[in-house]
Structure 1
Amino acid sequence: MLPVPYLSISQINKYLTCPKQYEFRYVQKIPESKGSPLVVGSSFHKVIEESNRQKLDTGEILSDEEMKDIYDSYWKKNVHDIDWKPDENPDEEKERGFILAKAYLHDDIGKSLNPAGFEAKFDVEVEGIPFRGFIDIIEEDGHIRDLKTSKKTPAENVAEQSLQLAGYSYAYRYLTGNYEAGCSLDFAVSLKTGPKIVRRETEITDYRMDRFKDTFYNVANAIDKEIYYRNEGTACSWCSFRDICKGEE
């Protein structure tokens, strides 16, 4: 039995990173600290979503001033939850996210968006197990896009390794009965030289889809059997539960 009545990509990734981390978060329900990248990313997403909603209505994206108002408003609602690192500058982090949102919407990659849906919620089943999530953008031709912010240029094969894109493709096929037109990760990258917009595309083959379903089922089965071991490694350095976990010995 799952501690949450469904599995999501974030849950699966957390379990794959460290099963003990999953237990702390979803079984013991210990609150997890929120780092600045999460709030930067969610504020970025909000601007992209609202700008493209206007684009659907009027054919034009938001002005830079309108983008800034939306970004600032969303940031203000969430900034109090951030667990700041000693070397982080809150004002610089806030500005970084807005610069990335503006750069994405003015870049050819952002301009090429032809969305039919935003933050499209789905509730489907994989091998009888509930699967829930939100697809960032589904374009009119059936292309799936997920948006990311980053401080470094993503690897060329990052989309080919994305469990998230495979899961979203599964949901799209389940609900529509059709194959997606394509899948991509759109990155807004914050470099010292300025913002950089990068797309990484991939194809979800039948073999890759089978691998997704196998991973989904096996993670669900391990959770059902309460297999929560510690996965000692680099993830310990940023884990929200590090002090609790290390103090249990």
Structure 2
Amino acid sequence: MEEIDLQTTELQEVSQPPVMEHISAFSPSSSATFEQCPKQWYFKYVAKLPDPKGEDAVLGTFTHSVLELLLQEPADNRTKAKAKEIAREIWPQVEDDPDFIALNLSDVEALEFRKRSWTAIEALWELEQPQGVEVASTELEVKVELNSIPFRGFIDRIEKEDGGLVITDYKSGKAPSKKFEDDKLQQVLLYAAAIEQLDGHRPKRARLLFLNNRDRSNSQNRRVVEVEVTEKNLTQATKKFKRNWEDLNAACTSGIFHAKPQILCKWCSFLQNCSQGQEWVSPSR
């Protein structure tokens, strides 16, 4: 295999076995990354360049872990006090996590991290009453052929409601504006399609719970974003997923992964390896 120059504008000189041979599954997050920027996908999944988690991502993982364990408790035990107990119990695991260690937080910063985490955890009670949720599963790994694509995903929560199922995913980031809600819902709609493929029963609803309540100034941004699962929106979601898979297949065959310079380049872990991204964020632009 020839050495790949990651500084090149387009990876046109790649000489390697077909990348698709090494892709055992395609997830909603992988699909979204490729759609956002094929070059970013290459750096992350093929070149496997360092992609350190930022503080918000590590915080989100901790928050998800606490809520996963909380919802595994009997309904009457799903209290804020129990959530605090769980958070204290698993905190040593967070401190030993390489991603958390890499943040290199001071004692004061670590304390602020814990406060922010608790704010996100506590926000669940602003969005729903967890004692009233009839949990079917938490953090369920799903592997299925979806439109002949090897789909893989982890569903935060599936609950029973009026004889049907509801797909719920926690988000620790800020709630999106109305115009971006449909894009955000693609993930949970794909989960719904996967569940239907597995057991033949279509979930009733799919929803996102946005736990970040720091920005209360914009009341237009809904923190519970949900949609009724229909044949139409499932078809739209799976068609988009298949299109991304086919585009990825074509990129892997050609060895060309185009960059899509945009505002998000500012926060890309691979910016130093991407001349287009550097040009996009350059002050002289």
* 1:114-159 CA-partner distances (Å, limit 9, x unpaired): 2110001110012222000111000023111111112x44334655
Which residue, 221, 225, 230 being the options, matches 2:259? 230
One-letter amino acid matched to 2:64: H
> How many angstroms does 1:198 deviate by?
3.1
> Cα distance 1:165–1:192, how it changes in 2: closer, same or farther (>3 A)?
closer
Aligned position for 1:218? 243
1:171 paired residue number? 194
Equivalent residues in 2 for 1:13-162, closer than 5 Å: 13-55=32-74, 59-61=76-78, 63-64=81-82, 65-78=84-97, 79-82=100-103, 89-105=109-125, 108-141=128-161, 142-150=165-173, 152-156=174-178, 159-161=181-183, 162=185
SS in structure 2 at match of 1:213: helix
2:7 paired residue number: none
The offset of 1:186, in angstroms, is 0.9
Q: Can you give the 5+ residue segments of structure 2 that lack an aligned partner in the other structure?
A: 1-19, 280-285
Q: CA separation in 1, counterparts of 2:179 and 2:160?
A: 26
CA shift in 2, pair 1:124/1:192, >3 Å: closer
SS for the counterpart of 1:190 is coil
Using the alignment, how far apart are the partners of 2:140 and 2:131 within structure 1?
Answer: 20
CA deviations 1:186-223 (Å, max 9, x no partner) are 11123167xx9932211232222222222222211222
Match of residue 209 from structure 2:
186
Identity %: 25
Supply the AA of the counterpart residue of 2:56. Answer: P
Shift, 1:2, TM fit = 5.3
Q: TM-score, normalised by structure 2?
A: 0.75
Determine if the alignment matches structure 1 residue 6 to structure 2 residue 25.
yes
Give the Cα–Cα distance (whole angstroms) in 1 for the partners of residues 190 and 209 of structure 2. 17
Shift of 1:94: 2.8
Partners of 1:183 and 1:231 lie apart in 2 by: 30
Instruction: Give the TM-score, by structure 1 length.
Output: 0.85
The reply on whether 1:243 has 2:262 as its aligned counterpart is no
Q: Give CA-to-partner distance per residue, 1:71-101, whole Å, 9 cap, x none.
A: 52342133113387xxx94432332012221
Residues 192 and 221 of structure 1, relative CA distance in 2, 3 Å threshold: closer
- Aligned partner (choices 233, 255, 259) of residue 208 of structure 1: 233
Aligned length: 242
Using a 3 Å threshold, how does the CA distance of structure 1 residues 153 and 170 change in structure 2: closer, same or farther? closer
The letter for the 2-side match of 1:213 is T
Partners of 2:229 and 2:181 in 1: CA distance: 10
